[in-house]
Structure 1
Amino acid sequence: MSAGGRSLPHWAGDASLGIFVHWGPYSVPAWAEPTGALGAVPDDEWFAHNAYAEWYANTIRIEGSPAAEHHAREFGGAPYADFLDDWHAEAYDPVEWARLFRDVGADYVVPTTKHHDGVALWDAPGSGDLTTVARGPRRDLISPLADAVRAEGLRFGVYYSGGLDWAFTDFPPHRSSDEVTSLRPTDAAYNAYAHAHVVDLIDRFRPDLIWNDIDWPDAGKQPGSHSLESLLAHYREVVPGGIVNDRWGADVWDYRTSEYDHDTAHEASVGWEHCRGLGFSFGYNRVEDESLTLSPRELARLYADVVSRGGRLLLNVGPTAAGEIPAVQRRTLEGVAPWMSRVKPLTVDRRMLAPGEIEVTDASWWRAWRTADRLVVVTDSADAAVRPVDGDEVVLVTLPA
């Protein structure tokens, strides 16, 4: 049940895998220090040593940070905005992306439409030249992906950074989580700007899901024509089965989210969603090789764990500036696809097991859930033995090699 008393629609209850896509001017430098997972690195270290390549515009402004040193060495300290002009998306093939996502077993796809750098990937109203239509790729990157995703039978959502917009403000760089909270645009002008963007996304794309990030401008939390309340009322009217996440800074969410090792307390109720990249970054980080990227087996194990605890996995893909899925990420996605084709149908109409419903031996790791007519058990050993308490039919699935 959501904060507003709304049950998740059936499609969201059955969904178990989404694909996140972080793509922007930050994909040109494509660099971050791979320090570790969000939530596992102390807050006083995280921002100067940020593992998120999509935070490049912030990290390079922190004096003495490895990113600032990298930027000075590789790009001569050029303005971040130059990367928008250097981004051409010349190999972008949304149809091929959508087919890959379908083959992996995705239920829905959520691209970034505007990240914290303020660059919109469609001709967003009022954005001037801070769009991929006005500069760089010189085209709308969202519409063809929406069409391709839906042509493959998947649902389509949108990510929008409502809480941060570094192009809209002149605050100093964020050096702590407290500064993310305090140094953000909260005024009526930014609220009207963000409100118009999201209304346009709703009216153009009718997204099945809106994934807001960080917060929402405080001015929009008051009653009025540009209020968050009116925005979401419009969304519910246009997309009655649509859902929203929990990152609005207001009690309007339909489901809770966690991210890497952050906000894991939200992984409690049915319908929660865990998001992370294949490596430590969401945006493409050229530093992340196979040793820093989930293997097919590791991804399968993560997926089974999330599903068994009543959640959905929102797995991120970070394309190159050209628009290619990096080989190291494709290796994992294509490698896990055959396993997912077997397991994915076994997640429909699932529910969590009660303690003591099954006994599993001869396996060092296992996860399980119940469907309408059977128990599904994923183990790390083909020799595992499963004994259900009530004699139910058991489907035993071994993790990929």
Structure 2
Amino acid sequence: MPMQPWFSDAKLGIFIHYGIYAVDGVPESWSFYSGKVPHEQYMKQLDGFTASNYDPKAWAEVFAKAGAKYAVLTARHHDGVALWDTGQGDLNVVKHTPAARDLIAGYAEALREQGLKVGLYYSHSDWNHPDYASVVHPDPPNDDVGTNRYVTPKDGVEDPEAWARFLSYRNAQVGELVSRYRPDLLWFDGEWERSEDQWKMRELSEEILAGNPDTVLNARMLSYGDYATPEQGVPLRAPDGPWELCLTVNDSWGYQHQDDNQKSVGKLVRYFAETIGMGGNLLLDVGPQEDGTIPAAQVERLEGLGGWIDKHRGAVYGTVAGLPAGHHYGPSTLSADRRTLYLVCFDTPRETIGLRGLRTPVKRVSVVGTGTELPHQVIGGLGEVPGVTWIDAPVSADVDAYATVLAVELDGELDLYRGAGRD
């Protein structure tokens, strides 16, 4: 199946890590896996998870205001606690928390009312399932996968029947998500703990696409994924094919009381511009409190980023990756017809902005958001080596607080010189 075209033009998605881990503000699932928090104490958070102020319509309004085109909610993390009334076991917030209701249906409905695509996160692994630690990874990627009691069987003795039961459970839960909520995107995780063959990824992919052939799958479906998902670390080279950068607004995926290290709006604009300039999407993560409210500081960041995107939407939506490094000192995007370049300037431009290696003549340069036209001229050049296009810096009234964007309208499709100059 070809990749769904909406994904690559979405540019911004919102990741939501929401679950019982927000009660004590501990790392989602990993805190008991690593022994930082006793398992019993971690699971006691079920008693305090109320979702008392959960308002998915308010979430969706904030996401739309941020300029996002999709969102991804943690339907079930590695801790095995489902946010819906699953028919597979009873470890879910409907049966075992004061929230006592399905938290996915309203989310999906609210997103669709705002015109956003619906994404659901699901972990292949489940560190609470009695049948999960029943087989051994044939080539463990790290020591934990070979030794952790939540992953590997005691004394390494495998139980293939238990593993078959686990896969039936996983497949049935994924089937519930597909049939009940018809997500546009399924964001899988936990794949490193088993091989593709052990996971039976082909069969799972076939079942998902039989239920909804338009479902987008991330690369943690291994050979059956549609796009790459680097997280936290910004790639210096764009992954092959479609991709998204998963990034937290502060330092944590889920809500952690002590983490107030929120990235500034300016930093988020930089991450966003650099990501779309390399042809990717930014999947920006927030961690709601246990009552369902997104912290005000995170809402403020989303709305600040959304203000910048709205002002510069022509340079964002309907564009592809821009210039390779070296042609312009900053990110850039290119219109789909390859006739308009958008140059992002993070610092206040002084005197001139240089554009190197441009063979296509420039018709007009203007400041995105204000429309002010800027003079430009080409200086130098010899034979096939083009001169440098120098653009006059905008006046202070046209400089954006976070990043100024210039629209360079070309007289034809973009044509770049990539050589070493005349010998």
3-state SS of paired residue (2:309): helix
3-state SS of paired residue (1:153): coil
Q: Is the 8 A contact 2:84 2:103 kept in 1?
A: yes
Q: In structure 2, what is the Cα distance between the partners aligned to 1:206 and 1:246?
A: 19
Q: In structure 2, what is the Cα distance between the partners aligned to 1:227 and 1:355?
A: 39
Q: What residue in structure 2 maps to residue 214 of structure 1?
A: 190
Q: What residue in structure 1 maps to residue 52 of structure 2?
A: 90
Q: Aligned pair 1:254/2:207, yes or no?
A: no
3-state SS of paired residue (1:160): strand
Residue type at the aligned position of 1:112 = T
TM-aligned CA deviation for residue 327 of structure 1: 1.9
Q: In structure 1, what is the Cα distance between the partners aligned to 2:315 and 2:5?
A: 16
Residue type at the aligned position of 1:252 = Y
Q: 1:354 to 1:329 in 2, by over 3 A?
A: closer
Q: Is the 8 A contact 1:301 1:399 kept in 2?
A: no
> Which string of whole-angstrom CA distances, capped at 9 and with x for unpartnered residues, describes residues 16-64 of structure 1?
1111110111000014xxxxxxxxxxxxxxxxxxxx45523324x2xxx
Q: 1:399 to 1:196 in 2, by over 3 A?
A: farther
Q: Aligned pair 1:80/2:56, yes or no?
A: no
Residue type at the aligned position of 2:225 = W
TM-aligned CA deviation for residue 395 of structure 1: 5.6
Name which of structure 1's ranges 210-219 and 17-26 shifts more when overlaid on structure 2: 210-219
Q: Which runs of 5+ in 2 are unaligned?
A: 134-140, 153-159, 369-399, 404-423
Q: Is the 8 A contact 1:132 1:138 kept in 2?
A: yes
Q: In structure 1, what is the Cα distance between the partners aligned to 2:323 and 2:120?
A: 35
Q: What residue in structure 2 maps to residue 268 of structure 1?
A: 239
Q: 1:271 to 1:58 in 2, by over 3 A?
A: same
Q: 1:212 to 1:170 in 2, by over 3 A?
A: closer
Q: What residue in structure 2 maps to residue 16 of structure 1?
A: 11
Q: 1:243 to 1:181 in 2, by over 3 A?
A: farther
Q: What residue in structure 2 maps to residue 57 of structure 1?
A: 32
User: How many aligned positions are there?
Assistant: 346
Q: What residue in structure 1 maps to residue 376 of structure 2?
A: none
349, 356, 373: which one aligns with 1:383: 349
Q: Is the 8 A contact 2:78 2:190 kept in 1?
A: no
TM-score (norm 2): 0.74
Q: In structure 2, what is the Cα distance between the partners aligned to 1:111 and 1:356?
A: 34
Q: 1:247 to 1:89 in 2, by over 3 A?
A: same
> Which string of whole-angstrom CA distances, capped at 9 and with x for unpartnered residues, describes residues 118-174 of structure 1?
10000112121x111102110000000000001000000110011243344686xxx
TM-aligned CA deviation for residue 396 of structure 1: 4.7
3-state SS of paired residue (2:45): helix
232, 243, 261: which one aligns with 2:205: 232
Q: In structure 2, what is the Cα distance between the partners aligned to 1:58 and 1:304?
A: 36
Q: What residue in structure 2 maps to residue 25 of structure 1?
A: 20
Q: 1:266 to 1:120 in 2, by over 3 A?
A: farther
Q: Tell me which protein shows more strand as a share of its residues.
A: 2
TM-aligned CA deviation for residue 238 of structure 1: 3.2
Q: In structure 1, what is the Cα distance between the partners aligned to 2:3 and 2:67?
A: 21
Q: CA RMSD in A?
A: 2.8
Q: In structure 2, what is the Cα distance between the partners aligned to 1:337 and 1:220?
A: 39
Q: In structure 1, what is the Cα distance between the partners aligned to 2:216 and 2:192?
A: 17
122, 125, 134: which one aligns with 2:95: 134
Name which of structure 1's ranges 139-148 and 239-248 shifts more when overlaid on structure 2: 239-248
TM-aligned CA deviation for residue 399 of structure 1: 5.4
TM-aligned CA deviation for residue 181 of structure 1: 6.3
Residue type at the aligned position of 2:220 = R
Q: 1:229 to 1:196 in 2, by over 3 A?
A: same
> Which string of whole-angstrom CA distances, capped at 9 and with x for unpartnered residues, describes residues 315-349 of structure 1?
11100001111122122112222112123442233
Q: In structure 1, what is the Cα distance between the partners aligned to 2:59 and 2:11?
A: 19
293, 303, 306: which one aligns with 1:337: 306
Q: Is the 8 A contact 1:378 1:396 kept in 2?
A: no
Structure number with the bigger relative contact order (C-alpha 8 A, sep ≥ 6) is 1
Q: In structure 2, what is the Cα distance between the partners aligned to 1:90 and 1:341?
A: 32
Structure index of larger Rg: 2
Q: Which runs of 5+ in 1 are unaligned?
A: 1-5, 32-51, 62-66, 72-76, 361-365
**How do 1:313-332 and structure 2 match up within 5 A?**
313-332=282-301
Residue type at the aligned position of 2:167 = N
3-state SS of paired residue (2:269): helix
3-state SS of paired residue (1:8): coil
TM-aligned CA deviation for residue 12 of structure 1: 1.0
**How do 1:274-289 and structure 2 match up within 5 A?**
274-289=245-260
Q: Aligned pair 1:369/2:333, yes or no?
A: yes
TM-score (norm 1): 0.78
Residue type at the aligned position of 2:305 = V
Q: In structure 2, what is the Cα distance between the partners aligned to 1:181 and 1:164?
A: 16
Residue type at the aligned position of 1:179 = D
TM-aligned CA deviation for residue 241 of structure 1: 2.5
241, 253, 264: which one aligns with 2:214: 241
Q: In structure 1, what is the Cα distance between the partners aligned to 2:182 and 2:211?
A: 7
Q: What residue in structure 2 maps to residue 400 of structure 1?
A: 402
**How do 1:36-185 and structure 2 match up within 5 A?**
52-59=27-34, 61=35, 67-68=36-37, 79-128=41-90, 130-136=91-97, 137-168=99-130, 177-180=142-145, 183=148, 184=151
TM-aligned CA deviation for residue 377 of structure 1: 1.6
Q: 1:344 to 1:197 in 2, by over 3 A?
A: farther
Q: Is the 8 A contact 1:246 1:253 kept in 2?
A: yes
> Which string of whole-angstrom CA distances, capped at 9 and with x for unpartnered residues, describes residues 172-217 of structure 1?
xxxx943146643782111111110001111111111111102188
> Which string of whole-angstrom CA distances, capped at 9 and with x for unpartnered residues, describes residues 75-134 of structure 1?
xx9532211121001010100000000000111011000001110000112121x11110
